[in-house]
Amino acid sequence: MNTHFVLNDEIKSLNSGINQDWYNTVLELERQRGKCKNVDFINQDLKRTRKAIVVLGCSFADGQGSIQEEVTQTLSPKYSLQDNKFDYISDYIDPEKLCNLALKHNLPIIYGGTNNRYEVNIYATELNNSWGSKIAKMFNDEYTIVNFADRGAGNNCAIKKMFRYPIDWDSCDEVLVLWSVCDYTRWGTLHGNNLNFNSITGDYRTFWWTSNQEAKDLNGLFSKEMLSPMFYIAEYLENCTSVKTWCKQFEKHNLVVIPAFSPLPENAPTMEWQYFLSQVALKASKDVAKGMKAKLLTEYVWDVNGKETLIDLLLEKEELIHGSWHHIVNDIKGVGTDQGWISPCTHPTHKSQILISELLYDHLNKNIL
């Protein structure tokens, strides 16, 4: 059964505050919360602002995990080792408790999903709590916010969205692109059956690296390439060129590169970058290698207040400064961190999104705009 919003007598009987007037208000709130992915709204708003904040990235920029603490505690996200997914509704929640939560935080109740039962929809709230949406509010809505980030997506997925959707960029005189660079061992392609040209979400399939490199499917074939520096660095440089070229169509444009949880290739504590350049020079020339290096967006990189990535900033807040994120993350899955900077689904929490938005807003005002 398809997930859909509901309001029936059973729900209304659980809490007298849940009535049609309240529900109409909530649905309008949902529309406003999700406006940064609605093409009709974006095009209308661009006529007013003529300026846009464009967000690129994965779940770290899409707001996943950024919900009020009470909501997180009630829904208690669980991690499934079997399918490598986080589920905010994996345990049964008493319907009355669910309705009280929905009423308090203005969350729409949905019916369906994989379990065919009543649940609350938190996606638009997470999106509205993302650092990109918060920065737009800090600028007093002088900019139209366009969020091309998506959960589980690779860098190329978000960047292709810049060209895919019928957004009226001719109405825009100025853009600020905030690219939250995610992991390099993801690659995505268009998911045509999910494509809705008015809704910027869920339009991709991601190929994830797998240790089963003998697999004959596309995921297995890509896994043989994904860990090769010649693949992921070349792919990253192509993405850099695409973003920079896209920005140049606007007379006034600014770009900020924000590493999410993996150091940029040129800063990674390994030899992959040097290996890549040496292979380019060996197969072509030193001048060609120099030209590849020039594709980097080094001058646009935000140093995240002295940290290499956003997650390093949050780990410092938690005083978890030893070991790499990719090792620590396994201890956080399903439980979160002690001081609440990282959610049980291993993403920045609501207070982390506030911190990131405040620091980035300060950087933009001092150094960019």
Q: Which residues contact 142 (CB under 8 A, 6 or more apart)?
A: 49, 51
Q: Into how many domains does the chain fold?
A: 2
Instruction: Check which CATH number belongs to the domain holding 225 and give it.
Output: 3.40.50.1110
* Shared-domain flag, residues 113 and 215: no
165, exposed or middle or buried, with CB in 10 Å at 0-12, 13-18, 19+? buried
Mark 57-85 as b/e (b = at least 16 C-beta within 10 Å): bbbbbbbbbbbbeebbebbebbbeeeeee
| Range with lowest mean pLDDT among 63-67, 128-132, 245-249 | 63-67
* Shared-domain flag, residues 304 and 165: yes
pLDDT at 87 over 60: yes
* Shared-domain flag, residues 110 and 197: no
* Shared-domain flag, residues 306 and 284: yes
Question: What percent of the chain is predicted at pLDDT more than 70?
Answer: 91
* Contact in structure between 110 and 4 (CB atoms under 8 Å): yes
Mean pLDDT (the chain) is 88
Say if strands 252-259 and 174-181 run parallel, antiparallel, or are unpaired: parallel
* Shared-domain flag, residues 27 and 168: no
Higher pLDDT, 322 or 39: 39
* Shared-domain flag, residues 92 and 133: no
pLDDT at 2 over 50: no
Confidence at residue 120, expressed as pLDDT on a 0 to 100 scale: 85
- 51 forms bridges with which residues in the sheet? 174
Confidence at residue 112, expressed as pLDDT on a 0 to 100 scale: 62
d(CA 345, CA 277): 36
What is the reported pTM?
Answer: 0.92
pLDDT at 175 over 90: yes
* Shared-domain flag, residues 238 and 288: yes
- pLDDT tens, 238-278? 999 999 999 999 999 999 999 999 999 998 877 889 999 99
* Shared-domain flag, residues 126 and 217: yes
Range of the domain at 259: 35-67+122-368
| Range with lowest mean pLDDT among 36-40, 205-209, 272-276, 308-312 | 205-209
* Shared-domain flag, residues 321 and 219: yes
* Shared-domain flag, residues 148 and 200: yes
Confidence at residue 1, expressed as pLDDT on a 0 to 100 scale: 34
* Shared-domain flag, residues 101 and 158: no
> Residue 50 is encoded by which pair of tokens?
């003529």
> Residue 163 is encoded by which pair of tokens?
């060209």
Mean pLDDT of 352-368: 97
Q: Which residues contact 37 (CB under 8 A, 6 or more apart)?
A: 127, 147, 199, 200, 201
* Shared-domain flag, residues 18 and 51: no
**Dmax over Cα atoms in the chain, in whole Å?**
74
Question: Which of 55, 31, 8, 27 shows the shortest CA–CA distance to 260?
Answer: 55
Mean pLDDT of 87-93: 64
